[in-house]
Amino acid sequence: CLGAFSFGYHLGIVNPALEHLALDLGIAANVQMKGLVVSTVLIGATVGSLCSGKVADDLGRKSALIASAAPLVAGSLLCSCASAVWIMLLGRVLCGLGIGAASNLVPMYVAEIAPEKMRGTLGSLNQLAICIGILLAVIAGLPLAGNPLWWHNMFLFAAGPAVLQGALMTVVPESPGWLRRKGRIAEAEAAETALWGAPDLVATAAAAAAASGDGDSGAMPKGKDAGASLGGLFAPSNRRQMTIGTTLFFLQQMTGVNAVIYFSSSMFAASGVKSAVAASVAVCAINVFGTLCSGQALDRMGRKPLLIGSFVGMGASCLVIAAAMSAQATWSLAGPVAVAGTLAYMVCFGLGCGPIPGLLSSEIFSPAIRGSAMSLCFVTHWVFNFVIGQAFLPVVQAVGGPAVFLGFSAMCAASVLFVQTQVLETKGKSLESIQREMMALNN
């Protein structure tokens, strides 16, 4: 999960470092340029996510993950030594390419190598690594208070996990399902033994690999999978899966997580916590806690109950935040109540809405389109992340913070309805059985 850690670290690193690097690069008074430093990583991530699925389908999950480390290393080094804003922007784009690819490839690889009874727990480690990466990025910014040039070291540190990712991925097995789909049966059997143990222990786990393989394994009848072209992705046999995957990522972004994080510092300040860094650490730490709880519950409670409970809790928390913001001028407890709502929101987000969209996307697609389909799902994530980031402040200025959070609560209610009626439960099921159920739903 080093790729997921890098994903989180690069998303979180600009929060504490932006004002310091802007001063050094001569853009302290240029709001648009500072916005570009933040948003170019999202542009790179969109491209990286879009391209990585095809690379993973053609060259393998392992090779794609090794390759994704290169732009992460190069981008981190460029950002670290940036003496001009264009160098910083180029580095941020390269980092974006790497984290966009990793955001797609890590859950895909984990789903294809994990035994079905542990797939939820292992899949949640991806989101946990992202949360830890964000948290450590914020903590890494603490020395900035005494050393404004520390931001160079913060970006340099980011190269370490990327180097480890590239090196360690050379010694792990390739996805057995991908190898089988390519007809490399002997290599697939060797990978299964390396992953799951002696041959007598491989039998149950091999069913999952068969589902990740092709028609030759018997997992999927020949001719049932549409190709991985854009038209094939939206063919009738794949329509339900694409609807679930892309809509969950859309709802993840439209239910307020970025807004809650943005307002967290002001909410903590209103309750007497003046340190923005302390507020950020608290929000990130509580998100890690929620994700840890999710990892323990995914394979026991299932994806749908956790996702529904997550959206219900997030919606209720948004109502609390909206009420506290409305009463801030007249209610002495408005600040602490808003903080409580913020922390409750982040716990609920970590329990379901954070980890489950990526996990489900890695489970519901057939092997012939899994790479390209997951790419499109994660492109949805990055595009709407960018859109919300650009539109959020103008909307707040136009209608006010309380109205925005009421809107987020309404989106949470709509999300509960979508999950209840459209999402397939995948707990404890092999990838093969999930694909058969999805095929039946599409017919």
343 Cβ contact list (under 8 Å, min separation 6):
282, 283, 286
Residue 200 has pLDDT above 70, yes or no: no
- Neighbouring CB atoms inside 10 A of 92's CB total 27
E strand or H helix at 190 = helix 185-196
pLDDT over 70 at 354, yes or no: yes
Q: What is the pLDDT of residues 313-349, one digit of tens each?
A: 999 999 998 998 888 878 888 878 888 888 999 999 9
Is 426 strand, coil or helix? coil
Write out pLDDT tens, residues 5-64: 998 898 888 878 888 899 999 998 887 888 788 888 989 999 999 889 888 888 999 999
Give yes or no for a contact between 29 and 191, defined as CB atoms under 8 angstroms apart.
Answer: no
- Alpha-carbon gap, residue 1 to 106, rounded angstroms: 7
Cβ 150 vs Cβ 23: under 8 Å: no
For residue 292, the model assigns a pLDDT of: 86
Give the model's pLDDT for residue 182.
87
| Res. 198 pLDDT band, cuts 50 70 90 | low
| Residue 94 clears pLDDT 70, i.e. is over it | yes
Give 151-169 as a DSSP string: HHHHHHHHHHHHHHHHHHG
- Exposure class string for 366-388: b at 16+ Cβ within 10 A, else e: bbbbbbbbbbbbbbbbbbbbbeb
Q: How would residue 411 be classed by pLDDT, with cut points 50, 70 and 90?
A: very high
Which residue do the tokens 């890695």 mark?
Answer: 362
Q: What is the pLDDT of residue 267?
A: 67
Furthest-apart CA atoms within the chain: distance in Å:
72
Cβ atoms < 10 Å from Cβ of 149: 11
Dump pLDDT digits (tens) for 213-247.
444 343 434 334 444 566 677 778 888 899 999 99
Residue 272 pLDDT grade (very low, low, confident, very high; cuts 50, 70, 90): low
CB neighbour class for 401 (10 Å; exposed up to 12, middle 13-18, buried from 19): buried
pLDDT at 412: 97
Distance CA 103, CA 130 (A): 9
- What confidence tens digit (pLDDT) does each residue in 327-337 have? 887 888 887 88
Please give the share of the chain, as a percent, with pLDDT higher than 70.
Answer: 89
Residues 127-161: pLDDT tens digits? 888 889 988 988 888 898 889 999 999 999 999 99
- Per the listing, tokens 């180029």 go with 90
pLDDT confidence of residue 247: 95
Q: How far apart are CA 126 and CA 48, in angstroms?
A: 18
SS (H, E, C) 55-116: HHHHHCHHHHHHHHHHHHHHHHHHHHCCCCHHHHHHHHHHHHHHHHHHHHHHHHHHHHHCCH
Comparing 393 with 184, which gets the higher pLDDT? 184
DSSP assignment of 336-350 equals HHHHHHHHHHHHHII
Grade residue 262 by pLDDT with cuts at 50, 70 and 90.
low
The Cβ-side half-sphere exposure at 226, using a 13 Å CA radius, reads: 19
